[in-house]
Chains A and B, each alone.
Chain A
Amino acid sequence: GDSVTQMEGPVTLSEEAFLTINCTYTATGYPSLFWYVQYPGEGLQLLLKATKADDKGSNKGFEATYRKETTSFHLEKGSVQVSDSAVYFCALSGESNFGNEKLTFGTGTRLTIIP
């Protein structure tokens, strides 16, 4: 079945550092890929998405490129801020699923940015 493997945390960085959170997936066909973010005390919210190979999703300075050849969707940001401290979830919606009612999530990576 579908699966998502995400970089284990926690990750601690200094402000303005470069961020990479790795995400690889296993799925049949051509899934859609997502990054969700959960800020302290809040629900998950969509950060960015990509629906086909070589697409780049971007939002709030974060980027991720859908790499079918390496089955990866790594999250990157060039210069992190304290406000980026949160838990980040990689997820996929399989092509064979009817809609995204069966989103498959990774385990989440807790990111802490220190001033």
Chain B
Amino acid sequence: NAGVTQTPKFRILKIGQSMTLQCTQDMNHNYMYWYRQDPGMGLKLIYYSVGAGITDKGEVPNGYNVSRSTTEDFPLRLELAAPSQTSVYFCASSYVTALNEKLFFGSGTQLSVL
């Protein structure tokens, strides 16, 4: 039972490079999310999607882009990596949205920009 799968687990980028963090879920969930966690801080929402073809900004969207062409996949794109984007990135999904609906998380991608 795969759940939410994120790749890669670790990555080091140079300033100005670009990369895509992959996220896929096999639970047929409508809602998908990208969070980042900086050291000593809580998780911050970057982008979310309520279904294929629909995305919206979260709390900290600057420097990132997303797409949702299928229900399963929700990649996060960094176009010009900056040191401020050094963080741990978590992808999550949920079937429906409700105040008490739980999220399913991937295991995270640790990204360093040097």
Enumerate chain A interface residues (CB-CB to B < 8 A).
4, 6, 31-32, 34, 36, 38, 41-46, 49, 51, 89, 93, 95, 97-108
Which residue of the partner chain B has the closest CB to A50? B100
Shortest distance in angstroms between A39's beta carbon and chain B's nearest beta carbon?
Answer: 10
Given A42-B107, A43-B90, A101-B31, are A106 and B42 also a contact pair (CB < 8 Å)? yes
Instruction: Judge whether B100 and A49 touch: CB under 8 Å.
Output: yes
Contact residues, B84-114 vs A (CB, 8 A) = 90, 92, 94, 96-108
Instruction: Judge whether A99 and B101 touch: CB under 8 Å.
Output: yes
Which residue of the partner chain B has the closest CB to A42? B107
Instruction: Judge whether B58 and A44 touch: CB under 8 Å.
Output: no
Enumerate chain B interface residues (CB-CB to A < 8 A).
3-4, 6, 31, 33, 35, 37, 40-43, 45, 48, 50, 56, 58-59, 90, 92, 94, 96-108
In the assembled complex, which residues on chain A have CB atoms less than 8 Å from the CB atom of B94?
A: 100
Number of A-B residue pairs having CB atoms within 8 Å of each other in the complex: 77
Measured CA separation A32–B97 after assembly (Å): 13
Instruction: Judge whether A102 and B105 touch: CB under 8 Å.
Output: no
Shortest distance in angstroms between A93's beta carbon and chain B's nearest beta carbon?
Answer: 5
Partner of B48 from A93, A95, A101 at Cβ < 8 Å: A101
Shortest distance in angstroms between A37's beta carbon and chain B's nearest beta carbon?
Answer: 11
Can you identify 17 A-B contacts, CB atoms within 8 angstroms? A4-B42, A36-B105, A42-B107, A43-B3, A43-B90, A43-B106, A44-B103, A45-B104, A45-B105, A93-B99, A95-B99, A99-B96, A99-B97, A99-B101, A101-B45, A101-B58, A102-B58
